[in-house]
Every structure is written in C-alpha cells, then in structure tokens.
Chain A
C-alpha cells in the first residue's frame, strides 16, 4: 500500500513537471490503466485549485458573423464553445469551428467519444458535426455542441478524458482539415 502511495506521489510530481503518462510509464511501477486514472485525478485536482468546478464551466457563445472563404454566400455565424475557469490559473479557452472546411470525416466525434468513453460512437461525442449530403455548400454542414442534450456530457475540453493525454484537445488534434481551432483569445 505504502508502495502504491509513493508511486502515486511520484506520478503526480512528474505530471506537475508537465510529463504525460506515456512519458513516465517506465519511471513508475504502475499499470497503464492506473497511471491513466491518476492522470485524470491529477487533472481534476489541478482544475479545482482555488475554487470548485461550477456548472456552466463550459458555455456556448455565439459570435456575430465571421466571413469565411467563399465570399458573400459563405458568411456564417460562428458558434464557439468556451471554457470559463473561475479562480483557477488556467486561462479561458475557446473552440472555434469553421464548418466550411469540414470534410465530414467524423474523426473529431470519434476521437471525443474514444478519449472519454473508450469506445467509438457518434452519439457519445460532445462535438457534433451534422451533414446533409444533398445540402448546398456552405450550408450543408453545421456543428452543434451537445449542451442541449442531457444524455451526453458536455464538452470539458478533454480535462476528464481518461484515454487522452495529448497536448491539445482531442477533436482539434485529429481534424485533418484544420477546421477546429482552440484559442485563448475571445473571438467575440
């Protein structure tokens, strides 16, 4: 038991130095699953520093319009999802999605469900890209955040994603078209 505790401490210390579970797996004697669990725990604790997580940590905001490639027809309203981090050291973050760039590959949705739930599913993803194959460009793909559906958890900026330890959020990392961007500057 003591052994485990000290291993956990060591892991937390290394996480604090910015190391990822995969980078320290040979420095601690812990099972991969356990290590990943500790990483989640550590991320949660870190998020809590100085305050409790409140509902509404993730909010959806609608920016006015943002011109995108394609001229007049392609003025789209850009909905952003925003992480508000009250009283923590983490800066606020926004995710921007440019629907006009989306190729409808679904990688973002697969990565989101895989990172959080450990299986792939469209319905379990926080981010939702919705295509109408017969629709007219650029209005044939829209995105949606599932804040309006209680059955699926809200986007948490991959803070509690047990299977993800990437530097950036999962969906933005896997998008091959560069349609998803994470920013700390308010787009509004």
Chain B
C-alpha cells in the first residue's frame, strides 16, 4: 500500500540480530499507535504480560515498538510524531502497557530508510547502539558511549558516522545527519522516570521507556534514510496541502510562534524550531540566553517550564538557572513532567518538616537553595544517577511516596495528584472527557481533542457532526448531571477512537482535528474532509470518517484487552486509580480545587505568589456548557465529582462500548465484532473468562 514501505525492522538484541517483518499483515492497523499495539500483541509473551504486578518492565521480554505512521515522511502536515509503546515501568500500582510519543525528524527518517517501524526485544549482553543506514543495519558496541549524557552520545555517533568527512554537504547520499533516539544516565540507571530523547529536546516522556532502553543495554538508535515514501497521487497531495494550509487548519489554542511561553528574561536571538512537516506552529524555539549565553535551549513545553517558577521566585526574574535545568533534564533524559511535579511535591514535604537533613526523609538536598542553579543541578543529578534520595525518587513519585509512608495521606489531601496511574503529567485542560479517558487507559491521555468554538451551539453542533453514529449535540453538556450521562460517555468513546487513529496516521495533537476555523466562511473547521483527502492522496484509497473511527474502536479494544491481561478491573477505575486509597478528587473542600479548576493537580494553583503570575495559570481554564430548556449556557462554577455517580457512569460507558459491566472487560461478542476473535481466544486461554 502506498504510504507504507512494506517492511518492519525487528531488532532482537539478545541474538544481536535484525529481522524483517512484512508490513502486509499489519496494514489494516494504519501505522503508529495502532500498528504498534498490534505488533506488541503479536510479539510479546502473553504469560509475561498476564498479571504485571510481578514484573517491572525491565525484563528482556518487554517489547518496545517505535512506530511512525502511514503518513510519516510525506508532506502531510503534522506527521512528525512517533508512537512508542510497550510495558511502562512507571505505571502504578503495576507496570502497564501504554503509548508515549515524540516529535522531531526520527519517524520520517525511519520511513526513508525503508521501514514502517522498529520493534526492539531482548537484551544485549553489553551496551550497544544500533546503526541503521537504509537496509544496512548494524548492532554496534556502545561501551564507550555508556555513561555519556545524551548530547555527547549524539555528537559521538555523528563523528563515527562521518569519520574524517565534514557535515554540511553530501555524505553517503544525504546531506542530513542521522536522527538519533537514545538515553542518558537516567535511562542507563533504570529510572522509571527516564524518557527517550531525540535531537535536542524531542522526547517520549511518559512511561519510563528510557529505563527500558537501559534495561536492554541499548544506548541509542541512529537512522539515516536516503530513500523515499511513495505517494499515490502526488499532484493531488500538493493541492490538498495548499488548500489546508491556506485555511491555516489547526487548533485555535496552538502555541505562539517564537520563544515566549513561560520563560521570562527571554533569550534573543532565537530560532523557531519545528518537527518534520510542522505547519507554522514551530512550537519550540532555540535560543541563546541573554543572561548566561547558554546556547541551544529549545522547547516551549514542560522541559522549558519546570524550573522557571523557582528561579523567578528566588531572583525576581529568570536568571538562566531555568535554562540550565532545561538542558540538563534533556541531557540526563529525565521526564520533565516528573522532575517538575516531583519537585513541587518534595517542596511541600520540606515545608511540612518531613524532608531535610536528619528528618523523616533524610537527605542533603538543600531546599534553602531552591531556585538556584546549584540546587537544580544537585536535584537532577540525584534523580539521574540514583544518588542518595534519588535512588527512591527515580522510582517515580507514587512509589517514592509509598516508600516515604505518605502515599495515602498525600493522595487524600491532594498534595500528590498522581491520578493517572502513577504516570507523571497532569491533565492540562480540566475537561472531564480527558479525565475519564485517562482513567480508562493507563496514563494521562494528553489528547487535546475537545476544543471550544465561538459559541456552545456551534461547538455542540460540530462535535455532533464529527461523532457518528450518535451525532449527539448533548455530548457537550458537562453540567452536574451531564458529566454522568450517556452523552458524555459518547464523547469519551468518540475521543478514544479519534485519538487512537490520530496517533496512528500520525497527526500532531496540536494540529488535529480542525474543528473550528476562522478562515472558512461559516467558521467550521475542515475536519474530517481534510483527513479523508490527505489519506486518499497518499494511499490512493478511500477511508471515510466512519471507517476511521471504526478502526479506532478496534485499536481501543485491543489496548483494553492488553490491560485486562495485566489485571485491569472495573473495581480499580477510580481517581486516583489506586484503591484502597481515597481520593481528594471526590471530596470537595473550601479552597481545594475540584473538577473545574486549572488542573487536578493542586500544587500549581496554591503555590507561592510567583507561580500565580505564571502563564500556566492562564492557559485555557475550561468553561463548561449546560443545556437546559433548549438553551446552552456557560458556567465556570466548580463542583465536586461524586464517587457513587462516577460508578454509575462507568456502567453506562461499559455498556456503550460493549464491555462487561461487572468487570469492565470487552465481551467476546464485542471483540469478535471488531475482528479480534483471536484476541478473545487468547484472553480466555490466559484465564480471563469473557462474557459472551
């Protein structure tokens, strides 16, 4: 099929062997997230992933799929993302299968090298790196790279590839440097909070897949591709591209161009840096800090933000400590979401007198120096190298809190808001759909799919259009009754399907879907026409929106089946999802954030004055719509989520999905209906008895 290259590269590190899996069998799964899930399912030992409370995810048996999609490497906007999936060590209360993803230029390069994806299994006996140059794949000794930060690793690999030659001209059929995905010390030291980094600051953060690389003795994968991606209708593709770009398709809440978000004392001059095939977003910027001359800090996201508040609070302005922190967190390959949330939580422990020299949590991490560069260097080094307290913190905050004996207390109070299965990153829009969806998967969903248009009428109408088969405008009713209704269940179901497919094409989350658009006459966005037309131009085959969502449903069910094998059950799908602990989410107290405040996380909202002026707070706090007597109205009045009603909601949702309401598992009929009969059989074989 056009768009696909026809080959998937499988690296068996134990045998130090590279094999080819033909893509044909997996074409139905489109690519990215979908194809990754299917490959994981086929390649992994089912006994290994049945009841994951006994495993860590660091076993050689863990299978990691690194998957670009069918559109990767073409000119379709927003195709630079790559899905990474496997057993995530960070998951709590047990490691779980989840997807993370990253941008940059890695995915398209994999396609140009001739592969639809890379599957990594086994464990090398000694540190290795993988050198991929088109069909030439070599697993090489990496003992000299082990111990290096990620940036030095990249430099060293580039040097080895170029030899005596210089970059800037043609080398072996390309002018491009190899694209590298790899780890620094945090990954080598099996941090459950270690991420995979690529380039300067692209990273797959959630899940701890950096630690999985480390456990496999895999330092990095370097790819050069000099080939091409075949396209069915090139001219049409260029036409559709121009049509979509003329209309500036994309999300209205896209990040600003240029360096601004969050960072103060803004460095200049700078470059807006984007992923492969990014539209005008260029959501990152590379800069030379005006204060310190620190070069090459890019990223406008969490890695850029996580130390700004501390730096600013201490010094009245950002002094460059925040820039150093950004560089370091990436060089060490630590998930910045974790580094950030963990830091604010540790600070509360310090303020409560629980943490410090000679305290209950005895550490030389000196909070009187918080905000300085010295502090953040010390903190990050501890995390990356597991020094002192870092040995516990590298296990992720849920496990660390358990070890410190404060998990129950802090989950109840909301000091610790690890609501999404222990995986750092709290949801950014306080949208109930986001929360539910995350609860039904194994991480914060991070899906910015529900955006609000000019009016609630229009918003409701558009989402009704986008959500076959229900076409239900009441899906947008997020009132006190609405959040527990079948309408909200439909929106959650729609989002699970759409977002699965978004990760499979792939499309950048900041770009798709185009629901509203100021450039069109009626203000309507150009989704789903855009998605359908791009797909047709690239592959030469039609794929309707209904079909897109149907395949998304199949992916969602396969994902669910894997969680069921792990031990997922209805009785643990609560916020935070670690029974027996009670949760602040259901208990509304004065001044305590509830569903409608900026985030489920408390700390960002209650922190010191500096944080109040911090731009994070001004990111869209979502109003919600209420539909009453034939009319929509806005509200921002917060209300608590009630546990009993949340329970009833689950019954509605499970029914809607065709899942057993007792267990939350897909029924056999549902799986068979999705074309997943073999999956149903496997579940049975593994002792998961499905309802017919």
**Could you tell me which A residues sit within 8 Å of B by CB distance?**
22, 32, 36, 69-71, 73-74, 100, 102-107, 110-111, 113-115, 117-124, 128, 130-138, 140-142, 144, 146, 148-149, 151, 162-166, 170, 173-174, 176-177
Contact = CB atoms under 8 A, between A and B. Distances in A.
Given A105-B276, A137-B295, A163-B238, A122 B282 contact: no
Contacts of A165: 235
B229 A69 contact: no
Interface residues of B, number: 54
A57 B216 CA distance: 54
A159 to B, nearest CB: 16
Contact of B242 (A74, A146, A162, A166): A166
A44 B230 CA distance: 26
19 contacts: A102-B271, A103-B272, A103-B274, A111-B238, A114-B231, A117-B228, A118-B231, A122-B176, A123-B227, A128-B175, A130-B167, A130-B175, A134-B151, A134-B154, A140-B271, A140-B286, A140-B296, A162-B235, A177-B280
A115 B73 CA distance: 15
Contact of A130 (B73, B168, B231, B287): B168
A111 B230 CA distance: 13
Contact of B235 (A32, A135, A136, A140): A32
Given A123-B173, A137-B288, A177-B282, 11 more contacts: A22-B239, A105-B278, A110-B74, A113-B228, A119-B231, A121-B227, A123-B226, A128-B175, A140-B271, A140-B286, A174-B245
B274 A110 contact: no
B270 interface: yes
A130 to B, nearest CB: 5
A180 to B, nearest CB: 14
A26 to B, nearest CB: 15
Given A71-B269, A111-B75, A133-B199, A105 B275 contact: yes
Interface of B: 73-75, 105, 108, 112, 151, 154-155, 167-170, 173-177, 199-200, 225-231, 234-235, 237-239, 241-242, 245, 268-280, 282, 286-288, 295-296
Nearest to B280: A176
A146 B245 CA distance: 28
A107 B75 contact: yes
Nearest to A117: B228
Contacts of A117: 228
A104 B276 CA distance: 7
A85 to B, nearest CB: 25
Contacts of A105: 274-278, 282
A179 B589 CA distance: 54
B275 to A, nearest CB: 7
A36 B235 contact: yes
Nearest to B151: A134
A100 B271 contact: yes
Contacts of B287: 137
Contacts of B169: 144, 148
Contacts of A74: 269
Given A137-B287, A163-B234, A110 B75 contact: yes
| 6 closest A-B pairs by CB | A121-B228, A70-B269, A118-B234, A133-B199, A163-B234, A103-B274
Contact of A123 (B174, B199, B278, B286): B174
Contacts of A176: 245, 278-280, 282
A115 B235 CA distance: 7
Nearest to B174: A123
A30 to B, nearest CB: 14
A149 B172 CA distance: 11
A129 B278 CA distance: 15
Contacts of A144: 168-169, 175
A138 B271 contact: yes
Given A104-B273, A123-B226, A141-B271, A114 B237 contact: yes
Contacts of A114: 75, 231, 234, 237-238
Contacts of B272: 103, 177
Contacts of B229: 119-121
Contacts of B242: 166, 173-174
Contacts of B75: 107, 110-111, 114, 120, 174
A137 B230 contact: no
Contacts of B168: 130, 142, 144
Contacts of A22: 239
A79 to B, nearest CB: 12
B174 to A, nearest CB: 5
Which of B239, B242, B272 counts the most A-chain CB atoms under 10 A from its CB?
Answer: B272
Contacts of B286: 137, 140
Nearest to A115: B238
Contacts of B167: 130, 132
Contact of B231 (A120, A124, A135): A120
B235 A106 contact: no
B173 A134 contact: no
A73 to B, nearest CB: 8
Nearest to B227: A121
Contacts of A69: 269
